[in-house]
Amino acid sequence: MVNKWQIYEVNEEQIEKISKENNINKLIATILSNKGITEKEKIKKYLNPTRNDFHDPYNMPDMEKAVERILKAKETGEKVIIYGDYDVDGITSITVLKSFLQDIGIDAAYYIPNRIEEGYGLNIPAVEKIAKEGYNLMITVDCGITCIDEIDKANELGMEVIVTDHHEVGEQLPNAVAVVDCKRKDNKYECRDLAGVGVAFKLTQALAIKLDLDEKEYLKYLDIVCIGTISDIVPLVDENRVISKLGLLLVNQTKNIGLRGILNSSGYKNVDSSAVSFGVAPRINACGRMGHADEALKLLLSDNYSEVHNLTNTLNNYNRVRQDIEKKIYEEALTQIQNNALNQNNTIVVAGNNWHHGVIGIVSSKITEMYFKPSILLCLEDGVATGSGRSIPGFDLHEALTKCQNELERFGGHSMAVGLTLKEEKINDFSKELENLAKEQHTEEIIPVIKIDAKINISNLNQEMVKSLKLLEPFGEANKTPVFLFKGLKIDSIRALSEGKHLKLTLKEDNTIVDAIGFNKGNLVDEYRIGDQVDVVGTLEINTFNGVESIQILIKDMMKSV
């Protein structure tokens, strides 16, 4: 697939000013300029956020009502239960809120729906079960905003509900005591894009303020909040950046022995956003995907080293099983796409018998990444299709589903990721309707764009400059790893690694040689020869091999120099 390279326009005067005023090198100043972060105060907050950069939690919708209702439950000794989602965001949300409530004298129980048997969000059988067990107050975390009927049922059964969520709001709000969600139309809170765990964290902050507790009583959970925030792929800007930047400092010295166990087993030497996204998150998510989310929660709540050891091994085993299932579904989906030429469509919809509910979302992401088309994978069971979908920038998949409601039983999510349920007999009609919507929006004209921060000569690079990029971490959604353009490099050596999967090169400019690697780009080995001049787009890292550090380019795209 051909990518469009788009380089930011350079404002040399502004870059020079940012560099001098903030005592940072011009490379960092260039990237800040590209992000539109040019004022001294904003640069200071971006590079070195502090606990003073958190917004007032009472600016959030219904926060006062939520706090008052929880404190009433504390005073009267009511039975409280937290109802959360089965992914990392949900599990960390329950961990943070349950732990904090325990600290202030509320021994809250928890409920996590089984992903395979119950699906996402509240369900009426679960609500009935919870009410029957005598709970007076249910607090939802990372779910609940669209559960109108389920919350009405809770009210009918004499149980009050506080909703804390971060997902898009439907046409009406649930009839709850409080609905704390910054996606509400009447929201005035400064950061609209908190993760579910971020909303739960703000609830603990609000409770701490009301109880006149020391800041450390809620800040001590920032390590867990950080894990959920980074894992949920929310934009790492504004308050999410404060959470993730400060939280990673705590993660590195975490007192949560369950989190420490996951970190140690993941094999990552540096605890950064990559370690969270690719080391911690898959292991926690694997439990939920396999229908055992409570084991990941028990791990994060445990203070028993023996239990942590056993549960860490369990998480690792679930993750290995998840990888095997994912590979099988991916191969079956690719076969369907190829046999039916679905890659010629604007959208890709594939279905399989008994595909695992917990894994199809990951496979959908891979299909979308591979073909750069919105994709939906559906699991067929007893005439019902349950699925997950992923989109591309420029096509709002959630909005598209709202226009296909006649074909659907249920759906939810946001512009880039959705979940849905429909009858098997409706799949063809749904596929056609979705395809027509994509054609109307000319999604075939959407070209993947690689945004380039700056053009660099490798002869001007040094390790200190590359290491300075860590100032910009943590990287993630809306704060991507900086991408650079290197023009007119000569291929000094080239070979394929891992049975042709990856590409390894050395690239030369004048008398300077730099290593480069292209993951999953081994197919390019036949397109280039030693001596070819190439333009390369990629990120920079310090690679350590046998104790020796060297600069390495991670190739995102490459073409022959014109």
**HSE-CB for 204 with a 13 A CA cutoff:** 29
Tokens 């705590």 — which residue? 250
Predicted local confidence at residue 358, as pLDDT: 82
- Residue 160 tokens read as 């009050």
pLDDT tier, 415 (very low <50, low <70, confident <90, very high otherwise): confident
**What strands, in cross-sheet order, belong to the sheet with 410-413?**
348-353, 375-381, 384-390, 417-423, 410-413
* Separation CA 491–CA 49 (nearest Å): 42
Q: CA gyration radius for the chain?
A: 25
Q: Which two tokens stand for residue 139?
A: 């607090």
Strand partners, 84: 141
With contact defined as beta carbons under 8 Å apart, do 112 and 88 qualify?
no
pTM: 0.89
DSSP summary character for residue 248: H
Peptide bond into 282 cis (omega under 30): no
Residue 117: is its pLDDT beyond 90? no
Picking from 312, 208, 323, the residue whose alpha carbon sits closest to that of residue 256 is 312
Question: What is the secondary structure of 263-293 as a DSSP string?
Answer: HHHHT-SS-SHHHIIIIIHHHHHHHHHTT-H
Question: Rounded to 10 degrees, what is the CA torsion of 225, 230, 233, 236?
Answer: 100
Pairing of strands 548-560, 109-111: unpaired
**Residues 6+ positions from 242 with CB-CB distance below 8 Å:** 45, 49, 50, 53, 54
Structural domains of the chain in order of their starting residue, each with its CATH number:
4-48+450-560 (2.40.50.460), 57-215 (3.90.1640.30), 340-445 (3.10.310.30)
Structure token digits, residue 38: 């040019």
Highest mean pLDDT among 97-111, 269-283, 346-360: 97-111
**So what's the pLDDT on residue 84?**
96
* Residue 121 banded pLDDT, cuts 50, 70, 90: confident
CB within 8 A of 517, min separation 6: which ones? 497, 502, 503, 504, 505, 552, 553, 554, 555
First-to-final CA distance of the chain:
19
Task: Yes or no: say if 518 and 488 are a contact pair by the CB < 8 Å rule.
Answer: no
Strand segments, DSSP code E, in 71-154 are 80-84, 109-111, 137-141
Q: What is the mean pLDDT of residues 196-216?
A: 98
Q: What is the mean pLDDT of residues 203-225?
A: 98
pLDDT tens for each residue of 133-190: 999 999 999 999 999 999 999 999 999 999 999 998 988 999 999 999 999 999 999 9
Are 181 and 164 in contact, with CB atoms under 8 Å apart? yes
> Cα separation of 150 and 269, whole Å?
45
Please give the Cα distance from 401 to 357 (Å, whole number): 19
Q: What angle do CA 370, 372, 374 make, to 5 degrees?
A: 110
Cα 242–Cα 276–Cα 481 angle in degrees, nearest 5: 65
Residue 513: which residues within 8 A CB-CB, separation 6 or more? Answer: 492, 506, 507
67-107 tens-digit pLDDT: 999 999 999 999 999 999 999 999 999 999 999 999 999 99
C-alpha distance from residue 17 to each of 34, 40, 484 (Å): 14, 10, 22
337 vs 233, higher pLDDT: 337
Closest CA to 99 of 312, 302, 288: 302
- At residue 412 the predicted structure's pLDDT band, cuts being 50, 70 and 90, is confident
pLDDT in tens, 33-62: 999 999 999 999 999 999 999 999 999 999
**Nearest-10 crossing angle of helices 360-371, 305-339:** 50
3-state helix, strand, coil in the chain (%, to 5): 45, 20, 35
With 0-12 / 13-18 / 19 or more C-beta atoms within 10 angstroms meaning exposed / middle / buried, residue 162 is buried
Among 79-93, 216-230, 276-290, which is the least confidently predicted range? 276-290
Question: For the residues 440-465, what does the mean pLDDT come to?
Answer: 93
pLDDT at 1: 65
Query: What whole-number distance in Å separates Cα of residue 429 and Cα of residue 435?
Result: 10
Q: CA 463, CA 105: separation in Å to the nearest integer?
A: 51
Secondary structure, 3-state, 25-50: CHHHHHHHHHCCCCCHHHHHHHHCCC
